[in-house]
Structures are given as structure tokens and as C-alpha cells.
A and B are shown apart, each in its own frame.
Chain A
Amino acid sequence: DIVMTQSPDSLAVSLGERATINCKSSRSVLYRSNSKNYLAWYQQRPGQPPKLLISWASTRESGVPDRFSGSGSGTDFTLTISNLQAEDVAVYYCQQYYTTPRTFGQGTTVEIK
């Protein structure tokens, strides 16, 4: 199974500042035939189901604010939240969809400092 490891487990950021979350996979999720990274990011606000933010490591879903950005390739990925807003308080998960079983990172809690 591909193990997804996120860091840090939690972080507190001031409003308007940047939050950076890292995700590392135990093996590459880059499919060489199409040069796509099978890596997604989800946001789970308190009391809500998860919401897909980013697919293919860096493609924002429709309606997701452009302060959310994803980067990385192979085994190392980053979710950056620029200009943090109060509504961004949530737990963020990375997930690989390169193979089954699909696996999630353990989650990173973002709070306001």
C-alpha cells in the first residue's frame, strides 16, 4: 500500500498569512505515460464532509479560491493557502488515487493564531 504522510499535524497561522502543508507518499504517484500526479487535496471544515480542493496535484476545482494552490511531483507535494481567511480553518487531507487501496494522509489541522 502507498503510505501518505503529512506534515505538520497542525499549524496556527495569522489571518492574511500563508499556511504550507506537506504530503509525502511512500512511492511515486506520477504516472509516466501521461505525466500526471494522482494526488488530491481535500478540506474538511468542522462538522462537514470533506470537499475536494485540488486534483492532479495542482488543478484547483471549480469554485475553489485561488489562494489555494498545490505543487509537487513524484513523492513530495505541498498545499499552500495564501492570505489565510477565517473560513479556511479546517483539516486538510492529501490522498493518492494512483492505485488501490486509495490512501489518505493523516490530516493537518489549520487554525488561526
Chain B
Amino acid sequence: EVQLVESGGGVVQPGGSLRLSCAASGFTFDDCAMHWVRQAPGKGLEWVSLITWDGVSTYYGNSVKGRFTISRDNSKSSLYLQMNSLRAEDTALYYCAKDCAAGTLDYWGQGTLVTVSS
């Protein structure tokens, strides 16, 4: 059974940092690109970042570029999102999702909530 389990969310002050993790199981992790997508409370989906299967290439949404860093450890079947210089508008539920078929997000985790507030 495919599982993606996010962790690391919490409450952080503006300007602070947080590192999210996503533990993957039930599929061949290093066959797949991986994404982070976020959803502010009561709002729609916003794509955050993508990392290729080998970790060589990374891509970011305009609103997080220069502040967030995506990475992965294929030996641990884990995905990460380092978030720095956090702002109130980064408050959201952060999902990790796998991409094993040319770009679609074919399975999503349950998400981890990040709240940026003083």
C-alpha cells in the first residue's frame, strides 16, 4: 500500500524556519519525482516545489523561490522541504505528492499544518 506521511509542521514566528519531512513507502521511491503542494485554510491548491527522481533538478513556485529548498534522500525514501524566512502567507497545509507518470501528482499524503504567527 502506498503511503506518504508528512511531518514537521507546527507554529513558527515570522522570519523563522521549519523543516518538513515526507516518509514514503509502498512504491519505488527513486523511480518517482516528488512535489510539495500547499493549501491555505479555506483556499485552493498552490504548487510549491518539485524534485526529480535523482535529486539533480529542483523547481519552485514564485512565492517561495529563494526561501524554500526541496531535497530528498533516496536511501531513506524521504522527501524534505526546508522553509526559511517564513511569512504569515506561508500558513497552510503542506502536502507531499508523488509523480511517477510524467508530471501528474498520482498520490498525496494527508498533509502537515504550518502556521506562521507571532
Contact = CB atoms under 8 A, between A and B. Distances in A.
Interface of A: 1, 38, 40, 42, 44, 49-52, 55, 61, 91, 93, 95, 97, 100-107
B75 interface: no
Nearest to A48: B110
Interface of B: 35, 37, 44-47, 50, 59-62, 95, 101-111
Contacts of B35: 102
Contacts, number: 56
B46 to A, nearest CB: 7
A101 B59 contact: yes
A14 B44 CA distance: 25
B45 A93 contact: yes
A40 B104 contact: yes
A101 B61 contact: yes
Nearest to B102: A97
Contacts of B50: 100, 102
Given A50-B37, A52-B107, A101-B61, 4 more contacts: A52-B104, A91-B44, A97-B102, A107-B45
A50 B4 CA distance: 13
Contact of A52 (B37, B106, B111): B106
A111 B101 CA distance: 31
Contacts of A95: 45, 47, 104-105
A104 B47 contact: yes
Nearest to B45: A104
Contacts of A49: 95, 108-111
A50 to B, nearest CB: 6
A55 B106 CA distance: 9
A25 B113 CA distance: 30
B1 to A, nearest CB: 14
Contact of B101 (A55, A93, A106): A55
A97 B103 contact: yes
Contacts of A1: 62
